[in-house]
Amino acid sequence: MNINWYPGHMTKAKRQMQEDIRLIDLIIELVDARVPLSSRNPDIDQLGMNKARLILLNKADLADDRQNERWKEYFQEKGFHVVKVDSRNGAGIKAIQAVIQEACKEKIERDRRRGIKNRPIRAMVAGIPNVGKSTFINTFAGKACAKTGNKPGVTKGKQWIRLNKGVELLDTPGILWPKFEDPDTGKKLAFVGSIKDDILNMEELSLELIGFLREYYPGVIHKRYDVQEEGRDVEILEAIAKVRGCLKKGEELDYGKASGILFDDFRSGKLGRITVEWPPVKEEKA
C-alpha cells in the first residue's frame, strides 16, 4: 500500500524542532505503545543529542501489557528512561515527576556544582502526529498549574507551563514526522489511525488487519462478532458485514461500512488490548 506524505510539513516541523530543542534540558518523547518503533522517528536521537531523554509508551491502555513490559525493557536497555501511560485517563502520569528528576540528575548536579539554585528543568513533548501529545500535556499539566508567560531571552511567543517540583514544559509539542520508507511502517500507522483514513483504501487495509488479528490474536474476531475465523480474510469481512447488517441499497453487502466498524472497534480497544509490533528478539550471546 502506498501512502503519501507531505515533505513541506516535514521541513517546517524539523526546523521548529531544531529551534525549540535548544531551549530545553529534557525531551519527553511520546510513542504509541501499540507500535512503538513505527510511531517513532529515530532522527530525534540526532536532534536530541546531549539532552536527557524520557520515552512515554502512551496509549498503554490499548496495548497488550505483556508487550508493554517488553518494550519498556527494550528502550531501557538502550539507555532511555521509560514510563507506560494512558494520557486519556491519567494512569501512569504520577510516576513521571520522579522519573524526570532521575533523567535530569546530571543537570541538577551540574547546576549544584556551579552554585545555581532552583533553575527549573525545561522540557518539551515530542512525537509524530496523533500519538497523544496534546492529551498528555493537558493531563500532565493538569488544572493546577499556570502558564508562566513569555520569558526574556526566549523566542517571542513561547509559552512555558510551570509544573510542580521545578519543571517547566513548553506548551507546544514538537512534531516529528513518521518514517515511511518501510511500507510495513505505513501499514501499522494506518492500523492505529495515525494516518488520515481518507487517503487510505480502508477495505484493503481491513483485510490486512483481519489477517494480522487471525495470526497473532486468534479468537478476538470471533469473540467480538460471533463469526468463525475460517476461510479467506475477505470471507471474514463479509461475515462481519452480514452480522452487523452492513447493506447498501439493494441488499448488497457494504464492505466499506464493515471495515469502518472493524477499525473503530480495534482502535478504541473493543477487540481487546492489542500490540501490533513486538520488540526485536535479542540475539543469544555465544
How many H helices and E strands in the chain? Answer: 11, 7
In whole angstroms, how close is the CB of 264 to ligand G4P at the nearest point? 10
d(CA 22, CA 64): 36
Query: Can you name the residues that pair with 126 across neighbouring β-strands?
Result: 29, 174
Q: Nearer to ligand G4P by C-beta: 18 or 89?
A: 89
Longest Cα separation, the chain:
79
Among 38, 130, 206, 275, binds ligand G4P (CB under 6 A): 130
Selection from 216, 213, 217, 209 nearest residue 187 by Cα: 209
* Neighbouring C-alpha atoms within 13 Å toward the C-beta of 243: 16
What are the φ/ψ torsions at residue 170 (nearest 5 degrees)? -65, 130
Q: Nearer to ligand G4P by C-beta: 138 or 148?
A: 138
129 makes contact with ligand G4P (CB under 6 A): yes
129-137, 150-158, 160-168, 177-185 -> range binding ligand G4P (CB under 6 A): 129-137
169: three-class secondary structure by DSSP: strand
Among 52, 131, 167, 271, binds ligand G4P (CB under 6 A): 131
Q: Report, in angstroms and rounded to the nearest whole number, the Rg of the chain calculated over CA atoms.
A: 21
In whole angstroms, how close is the CB of 22 to ligand G4P at the nearest point? 22
Q: Tell me the residue nearest to ligand G4P as measured from the CB.
A: 132
Q: Nearer to ligand G4P by C-beta: 26 or 128?
A: 128
Tell me the torsion sign for CA atoms 7, 9, 15, 17.
negative
Taking residues 134 to 163 in sequence order and writing x for each that binds ligand G4P by CB under 6 A, - otherwise, the string is xx----------------------------
In whole angstroms, how close is the CB of 187 to ligand G4P at the nearest point? 19
Report whether 33 contacts 50 (CB < 8 A): no
Residue 274 is placed in which grid cell? 492489542
Ramachandran region, residue 173 (left: φ > 0; alpha: ψ -120 to 50; beta: rest) = beta
d(CA 6, CA 11): 9
Number of residues that bind ligand G4P (CB under 6 A): 15
In whole angstroms, how close is the CB of 74 to ligand G4P at the nearest point? 19
In whole angstroms, how close is the CB of 72 to ligand G4P at the nearest point? 15
61 makes contact with ligand G4P (CB under 6 A): yes
29 makes contact with ligand G4P (CB under 6 A): no
In whole angstroms, how close is the CB of 136 to ligand G4P at the nearest point? 6
- List contacts with ligand G4P (CB under 6 A): 58-59, 61-62, 86-88, 127, 129-135
